[in-house]
Structure 1
Amino acid sequence: MSAYVTSPSGHLENCEIVDLDDCNYSIKFIPKEMGVHTVSVKHKDMHIPGSPFEFTVGPIQGGGAHKVRATGNGLIRGEVNMTNEFNIYTREAGAGGLAIAIEGPAKAEIDFFDRKDGSCGVSFVCPEPGEYQVSIKFNDEHIPDSPFNVVIGSPFGDAKKLTIQSLQNKGHEVNRPCMFTVNVNGARGRLDARV
């Protein structure tokens, strides 16, 4: 397990990890500047659920929807009939109401839990694949980047059906097209490829 804190100025510092008992840990560090800090906690080089975590050192000033942040894979992509998650950080925003709506090809089942520390977690399950819009509002005003366009695809189990042919491992040239074939072999869902 590893943990580090990123200060508002971008400085990275390792955190102290204390093994409490039976898979429980305490993460300790001393903030050295005011503002929003981010703590990343990883197990086997993968972020644990909810990581990275944001918190504020110092007084909160000038709240509002523009101070709310939302992060997590559930705001980018997800799987059909699986729990997709993201986090919302409201501590900087001051007092107000939070509203979450998910619209798309089918009604999503949404679950919300307040962590009582200025952040909350949201999980949702979509019964059909497609593009969904996740709207997050604070005091009836969209937060930055809301609404989020989220592609919900078939479970990765279907992705195992895909095969690639004609992909050369070497011999490619700069600024020249590289091509290969993807056989879906009956897999359902939207195909997305990135380099």
Structure 2
Amino acid sequence: MDSNTMSASVITPSGLRDYCSLKQLDNCQLAVVFVPKQSGNHLVNIKQCKHHIMGSPFSMYVCDHEIGDSSKVRITGNGIKSAKTCMWNKFLIDTKNAGYGSLVISFDGPSKVLMVQKDNNDCTVSITYRTAKPGLYVINVKFAENQVPGTPYTINPK
């Protein structure tokens, strides 16, 4: 299948069109990627050259526990409490009980922050970061488009 001629869309249980994308997999298959925001039956439309492929639209049921809930995200580690300038600092984000959702981490402060995210393949993500200058930095964490309770964190690397 030629992914350049294909498109996908998702219709939510309330009848709204939701954002989705197509992702080319290693085995010459395509995946439809979207983050459900409500439970119920979703219709997934996949088209090639503006025509439905065989079987499209596909019906997919999303359960309540699969909806992303930022209040169930847990963040641990010394890197959210304190940090050292020009050294690697670390914290862990656990989304095991939070359903499906995108994770967005950002840093604001007096210098650019070098950040490395490592997906641990167990619904946790290790965040390692390094600041170039001392000063106050703010770490923002969002899950499923909502701020994780307890964030933002303020750190003051020396």
Which among 79, 94, 103 is matched to residue 74 of structure 1? Answer: 79
Q: Distance in 1 between matches of 2:70 and 2:118?
A: 19
Q: Distance in 2 between matches of 1:63 and 1:130?
A: 33
Query: Which residues of 2 match residues 53-132 of structure 1 at below 5 A?
Result: 61=65, 63-132=68-137
CA contact (8 A) 1:63 1:92 kept: no
Superposed CA deviations along residues 108-163 of structure 1, whole A, max 9, x for unmatched, are 0010000011111000000000110000000221111110011111xxxxxxxxxx
How far is the alpha carbon of 1:79 from its aligned partner? 0.6
DSSP 3-state at the match of 1:74: helix
DSSP 3-state at the match of 1:77: coil
Q: Distance in 2 between matches of 1:88 and 1:98?
A: 9
Figure out how many residues of one structure are paired with residues of the other and give that number: 94
Unpaired runs of 5+ residues, structure 2, are 1-63
CA contact (8 A) 2:141 2:148 kept: yes
Q: TM-score, normalised by structure 1?
A: 0.46
CA contact (8 A) 1:101 1:134 kept: yes
DSSP 3-state at the match of 2:136: strand
Unpaired runs of 5+ residues, structure 1, are 1-59, 154-195
Q: TM-score, normalised by structure 2?
A: 0.57
State the identity as a percent: 32
Query: Which residues of 2 match residues 22-37 of structure 1 at below 5 A?
Result: none
CA contact (8 A) 2:77 2:91 kept: yes
Q: Distance in 2 between matches of 1:79 and 1:63?
A: 33
DSSP 3-state at the match of 2:97: helix
CA contact (8 A) 1:69 1:144 kept: no
Superposed CA deviations along residues 33-75 of structure 1, whole A, max 9, x for unmatched, are xxxxxxxxxxxxxxxxxxxxxxxxxxx9475001101111100
Cα RMSD between the aligned structures? 1.4
Larger radius of gyration: 1
Which among 126, 134, 139 is matched to residue 134 of structure 1? Answer: 139
CA contact (8 A) 2:68 2:144 kept: no
Asked which structure has the greater RCO (Cα within 8 Å, sep 6+), the reply is 2
Q: Distance in 1 between matches of 2:155 and 2:137?
A: 5
Q: Distance in 1 between matches of 2:80 and 2:136?
A: 11
Superposed CA deviations along residues 79-104 of structure 1, whole A, max 9, x for unmatched, are 11000000000011111100000110
Q: Distance in 1 between matches of 2:97 and 2:68?
A: 6
